[in-house]
């Protein structure tokens, strides 16, 4: 309904002015209802525009900029791009966005998909991802990690497992860009 004090005060002023002008209570109520209808129409219109804009953004993000946004997040947390695990993590995150069940079967679905893409072994994928994550945990952007994982998870003794690290990036991107 009316959210701000300013809107409520404007309505009170209009009622007071109507009373002073000699309007009947019926006329005042009718005027207030007209104001509320106008307010609700404007509010609903703004809500609809925001909803439509976010749908467009979601569509654009998923089709054109997924790789860019994933790379941006990985760089922001401080993962060294020179490590093999960097490419593996980026691919694993993109793959997991496109195939959400991959995070439920990391060793049987996700790592084999990454290994196939980079023509390497599953063991190499796991090891290189682990080393890249350890590098982030030791030398990365602590504030960004706290924002991504929450304050309780950001100390050296609680380094995230590979699957959890990837899942947290996937989840944060889904929330940020409204991906389903």
16 C-beta neighbours (distance < 10 Å), count? 11
Q: What is the pLDDT of residues 33-91, one digit of tens each?
A: 666 665 555 544 444 444 444 444 444 555 457 888 899 999 999 999 999 999 999 99
Which residue has better confidence, 98 or 159?
A: 98
Q: Output the pLDDT for position 47.
A: 46
Q: What is the mean pLDDT of residues 161-166?
A: 89
Q: How confident is the model at residue 137 (pLDDT cuts 50, 70, 90)?
A: confident
Q: Output the pLDDT for position 171.
A: 87
Q: Output the pLDDT for position 16.
A: 74
| Mean pLDDT rounded to a whole number for the chain | 77
pTM, rounded to two decimals: 0.64
DSSP secondary structure string for all residues of 95-138 = HHHH-GGGGGSIIIIIHHHHHHHHT--HHHHHHHHHHHHHHHHH
Q: Output the pLDDT for position 158.
A: 64
Q: How confident is the model at residue 176 (pLDDT cuts 50, 70, 90)?
A: confident
Which domains are assigned to the chain? Answer: 5-62 (no CATH), 65-177 (1.10.10.10)
Q: Output the pLDDT for position 40.
A: 55
Selection from 141, 134, 123 nearest residue 165 by Cα: 134
120's CB contacts (< 8 A; 6+ apart) are none
Phi, psi of 155, rounded to the nearest 5 degrees: -145, 160
Q: Output the pLDDT for position 63.
A: 46
DSSP secondary structure string for all residues of 128-173 = HHHHHHHHHHHHS-HHHHHHHH-GGG-SGGGPPPHHHHHHHHHHHH
């Amino acid at each position: 309904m009316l959210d701000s004090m300013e809107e409520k005060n404007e309505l009170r002023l209009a009622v007071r002015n109507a009373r002073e002008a000699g309007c009947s209570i019926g006329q005042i109520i009718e005027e207030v209802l007209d104001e509320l209808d106008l307010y609700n129409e404007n509010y609903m219109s703004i809500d609809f525009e925001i909803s439509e804009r976010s749908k467009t953004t979601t569509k654009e993000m998923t089709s054109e900029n997924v790789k860019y946004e994933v790379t941006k997040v990985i760089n922001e947390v401080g993962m060294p791009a020179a490590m093999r695990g960097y490419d593996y993590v980026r691919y694993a995150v993109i793959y997991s966005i496109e195939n959400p069940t991959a995070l439920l079967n990391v060793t049987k679905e996700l790592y084999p998909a990454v290994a196939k893409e980079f023509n390497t072994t599953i063991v190499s994928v796991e090891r290189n991802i682990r080393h890249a994550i350890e590098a982030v945990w030791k030398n990365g952007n602590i504030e960004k990690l706290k924002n991504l994982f929450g304050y309780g998870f950001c100390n050296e003794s609680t380094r995230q497992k590979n699957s959890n690290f990837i899942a947290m990036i996937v989840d944060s991107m889904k929330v940020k860009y409204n991906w389903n």
